[in-house]
Structure 1
Amino acid sequence: MVRWFWIPQWDIQPGRTSRQHVIAYPACNLVVEAGAAELSGPTTRASHRDLAGTGWAVGALLRPAAVPHFTADPAALRDTSVTVDAPELVRQVSATMPHRHRSAVDAFAAWLAAVTAPPSADALLANAMTELIDADPDIRTVEDVATRLSVSVRTLQRLAVRYVGLPPLAMVRRRRLQEAAARLRTDPTVTLADVAADLGYSDHAHLAKEFRSVLGLTLSTYRREVS
C-alpha cells in the first residue's frame, strides 16, 4: 500500500522562511500534520513550499493499490489536495511527533492496514506498472510497459486512470525528468548533454524542452536554484 514514509521537520528563525522546491512523484500522498490529514493528488509540475516557524509532517507515498480507498477519481486531485477525515490517524501520529519517528511510522502503517482492503488483481497490476516505470531506465514508451507486463496499452490506460490519475505516458515522462532533476541536484559536474544522453533523449534540446513544458522550469534555472 505504501512505497515509503517521509518525515520533514523544520525550525526556522523568526522572521525568515525557507523555500523548498519539490518535483514530486506522479502519485498520491497521504500526509499528517499537526491537527489534520490531507490527501495530495498526483502532480503535473514542479512546486514549492515556504516553511516558517517550527513544524513537522509525516507522509506516506501511496502505491496505486491504496488510492481507491481514499478517492474514486485521483485525476480530480491533480496538483491539489483535500482534507481526509481520519481523526484516529491524526491523534496517533501526533502523539509520537516530533521526536519518535519510528513510532509515528508504525502508527501510520497500522492505521492503513486496518482501514484498507486487500488489493485486487487490478490493484496489484497497477502497482507493478508503476514499479516497472520507476525502476527500469530502458522503459521509454507505454508500449514498452505493456509488453513487459503482457497486457494491452488500453489496460494500462484504464489502470492509470483509476489508480494513479495520470496517463501512463505522463508517468513515463515524469520518471525520466525525476532522474534528470536528481542528476542535476546531486552532481554539479555533470553536463546537460550527458544527462540527456544517459536518459535516452535525442539531444540536450529535447530534454530541455520537455523539462520546461512538464515542470515549468528551465534546466539551468533548476540547477541554479537547488545548488
Structure 2
Amino acid sequence: MEAPRHDTRGIVDPSGLLNRVRFRRHEPAEPLRRYIEWYWLIDWDLPEPYASHIVPHPSVNLTFQWDGADEEDAPPYGEVTGVALGLYTRKLTGRGRVCGAKFRPGGFRPYAPGMPVSHWTGHTLPAQDLFPQATADTARAVVTPADDRARVAALDAFLLSLPCAPDPQTDLAIDLVERIRADRTVRRVGDFAHTRGLSVRALQRLFSAQVGVSPKWVILRYRIHEALEQAGHRDDVDWAALAADLGYADQAHLVRDFTTTVGVPPTAYAAETRADR
C-alpha cells in the first residue's frame, strides 16, 4: 500500500483551509493499511468562523473530535460518516480538533459486515451506534493528547481492537476503485466491467455492498477531483483539453458537472483560489 498522498484532492480552496488550520496525515499501523488509507488530524483556533468545503472521496470516515473552548464545555465524541453524495460543508468556530480515520473505498465493510456500505451513504451517526467500544473515554484518549504520535497510537489501539471480517469481495472492490482512481482511461462502466470479467449488474452490486456508491459515481467523482486540483494549482488550465483528457464529450459537460458539484464554474473557482494564494 502506498503512503498517504500529499495532494489536496477534494478540498475546495485548500489554501484557504490550510491557512486557518493545522492539517496532517499519518499512516495507520501496518495491519490496518489494507483497509484504512490514512489518519487525518486537524486542529484550529479561529478568531472568526470559517466554513470548510469538501468534495468527498468514496470513503467512509471514523472521527473523534471536540469543538469548543475546552473539553469540559464540549466533551469529545465519535462519529461515523458514510460516503457523502454532495458537497460536504463543516463550519469551524473557536477552538477544535478532529482525529479521523479515512477508510479506503471499499475498506469499511469488514468492520461492519452486517449491512451493505450503501446503508450508511449520506448519513452521519454516533460512532457508538456501530462500535460500542467507541465510548467517551475512547474519544478522550484519541483527542486529548497534544502529540500526534500519541493520537495515532490511540487510533491504532482502538481500530486494532475492533472485530474485522476479511472478505475477498472487499479486496476486489478496493482494487477496482484504485484502478478507477489511477487510470484515466477508465471512462465507461460497461467497458470497465467487461475488462474485469464482470457484468455491469455484478459490478454495481459489488460497489453497492462494498463501496456505498455506484461505479459511475466513482468515475465521475474522481474526474471532478482532478479538475478541482488543476483549477486550484494552475493558472493556465486548458479546460477543453482537460475535459477531453478526463473523458468528457466536451468542455460544456465538464463545466456542468463541476458547477453542480462545487457550486461555481471552474473558471470562477480558479479565479477565487488565485486570489487566496
**After superposition, where does 1:36-185 map in structure 2 within 5 Å?**
36-63=77-104, 64-67=106-109, 69-70=111-112, 72-85=115-128, 86-87=134-135, 89-96=138-145, 99-185=146-232
Letter in 1 for 2:270: R
| Alpha carbons 1:28, 1:67 under 8 Å: kept | no
Distance 1:184 1:146 in 2: 31
- Unpaired runs of 5+ residues, structure 1, are none
Q: 2:39 maps to which residue?
A: 5
- Unpaired runs of 5+ residues, structure 2, are 1-34, 67-75, 129-133
| Alpha carbons 2:110, 2:166 under 8 Å: kept | no
| Alpha carbons 2:190, 2:200 under 8 Å: kept | yes
Q: 1:19 maps to which residue?
A: 51
Q: Deviation of residue 105 (structure 1)?
A: 1.9
Distance 2:165 2:173 in 1: 14
- Secondary structure of the equivalent of 1:65? coil
Distance 1:215 1:45 in 2: 9
TM-score, normalised to structure 1's length? 0.87
Letter in 1 for 2:53: H
Distance 1:152 1:215 in 2: 32
Q: Deviation of residue 73 (structure 1)?
A: 4.1
Q: Deviation of residue 224 (structure 1)?
A: 3.9
Tell me which protein shows more helix as a share of its residues.
1
- Residue 116 to residue 184, structure 1, CA distance change in 2 (3 Å): farther
After superposition, the C-alpha distances for 1:150-182 in whole angstroms (9 at most, x for unaligned) are 333222211111122211111111111111111
Distance 2:158 2:194 in 1: 36
What's the RMSD between the two structures over aligned residues? 2.1
Letter in 1 for 2:37: R
| Alpha carbons 1:42, 1:77 under 8 Å: kept | yes
Distance 2:151 2:55 in 1: 25
Q: Deviation of residue 6 (structure 1)?
A: 1.0
Distance 1:163 1:17 in 2: 36
Distance 1:7 1:193 in 2: 36
- More moved, 105-114 vs 32-41: 105-114
- More moved, 131-140 vs 186-195: 186-195
- Residue 175 to residue 56, structure 1, CA distance change in 2 (3 Å): same
- More moved, 29-38 vs 106-115: 106-115
After superposition, the C-alpha distances for 1:112-152 in whole angstroms (9 at most, x for unaligned) are 12203141111111111211111211111223432443333
- Residue 22 to residue 224, structure 1, CA distance change in 2 (3 Å): farther
Distance 2:160 2:193 in 1: 30
Q: What is the number of residues matched between the two proteins?
A: 223
